[in-house]
Amino acid sequence: MNVIKVKNYDEMSEKATELIVNRINTLENPVLGLATGSTPEGLYQRIIKKYDQGEVSFKNVTTFNLDEYVGLDKDDSNSYYYFMKEKLFRHVDIAMDHVHVPNGVASDLEKECVEHERAIEQAGGVDVQVLGIGGNGHIGFNEPGTPFSSKTHVVDLDQSTIQANARFFNSIDEVPTQAVSMGIETIMNSKEILLLVSGEAKADAMAKLLNGEVSEDFPASILKQHDNVTVIVDEAALTVA
Ligand code: GLP
């Protein structure tokens, strides 16, 4: 893993923007894997700025999101589709039929998982996958214990993840208990991975990632076996308790 240490959240977002804009501008038909959560918001804001300044276009870009809550439809303000539309897609010139966020209200969720995988393959695979990390080491919604061989699947969310994400909902009871998530193998099949880590709340996870062994008990640890991973991490996330 190529670990880039930066001062703070803004610098992390700045560096991530440089990398993503560079890939969009150099690849012929860029395929981006995108993540939700607070971590990549600064990246998306800066990409929009670059778009407004005419420095990048999404005309030829295809995107695949990592995950979606089961039971929330596209119009639900807590769905990841809605998040992506509000934070990025509606501000740039992407063709919405090039956008793939798993459908959390599909009548056949297993089929939805297979289709997400197939669409990724048909697009030629993900060129660069943006990732955040959960406090428990989850990537996408792949909780500890998820097989490294997993493809897109329906997952039961950990209580710690439900609690961490409750801040976006009116009450914790409203947080879905399941999600559709790209699997760990799906993520590892990306040609390049960009992991963003910011804030003290991620310091334990970051220490485990850097110093721990590769184990299904800590999903992000598998990234150490990928040959093209950039981690951009800020000082707070490197604070050793
Ligand atoms: C969520 C998402 C992940 C995200 C992680 C961290 O549960 N499914 O894709 O990386 O949690 O979120 P945040 O960036 O808000 O800390």
- Determine whether the shortest distance from the Cβ of 163 to ligand 1 is under 6 A: no
Decide: 141 in ligand 1 pocket, CB within 6 A: yes
Report CA(39)–ligand 1 centroid distance (Å).
7
Q: What is the atom index within ligand 1 of the atom nearest the CA of 40?
A: 14
Task: Specify the pLDDT at position 240.
Answer: 74
Report the predicted TM-score, pTM, of the whole model to 2 decimal places.
0.96
The ligand 1 atom at the shortest distance from the C-alpha of residue 131 is: 10
Cβ–ligand 1 distance for 44 under 6 Å, the answer no
Query: Domain spans of the chain?
Result: 2-238
> Mind listing the pLDDT tens digit of every residue in the chain (241 residues)?
999 999 999 999 999 999 999 999 999 999 999 999 999 999 999 999 999 999 999 999 999 999 999 999 999 999 999 999 999 999 999 999 999 999 999 999 999 999 999 999 999 999 999 999 999 999 999 999 999 999 999 999 999 999 999 999 999 999 999 999 999 999 999 999 999 999 999 999 999 999 999 999 999 999 999 999 999 999 999 997 5
161 lines ligand 1 (CB under 6 A): yes
CA-nearest residue for atom 6, ligand 1, is 134
Per residue in 92-141, pLDDT (tens digit) is 999 999 999 999 999 999 999 999 999 999 999 999 999 999 999 999 99
CATH number of 2-238: 3.40.50.1360
Query: Which residues does the annotation mark as catalytic?
Result: 67, 136, 138, 143
Q: Say if ligand 1 is within 6 A of residue 198 CB.
A: no
DSSP secondary structure, the chain, as one string: -EEEEESSHHHHHHHHHHHHHHHHHHSSS-EEEE--SSTTHHHHHHHHHHHHTTS---TT-EEEESEEETT--TTSTTSHHHHHHHHTGGGS---GGGEE---TT-SSHHHHHHHHHHHHHHTTS-SEEEE---TTS-BTTB-TT--TT--SEEEEPPHHHHHHHGGGSSSGGGS-SEEEE--HHHHHTSSEEEEEE-SGGGHHHHHHHHHS--BTTBGGGGGGG-SSEEEEEEGGGG---
Strand order in the sheet with 128-131: 2-6, 229-234, 192-197, 128-131, 31-34, 62-65, 99-100
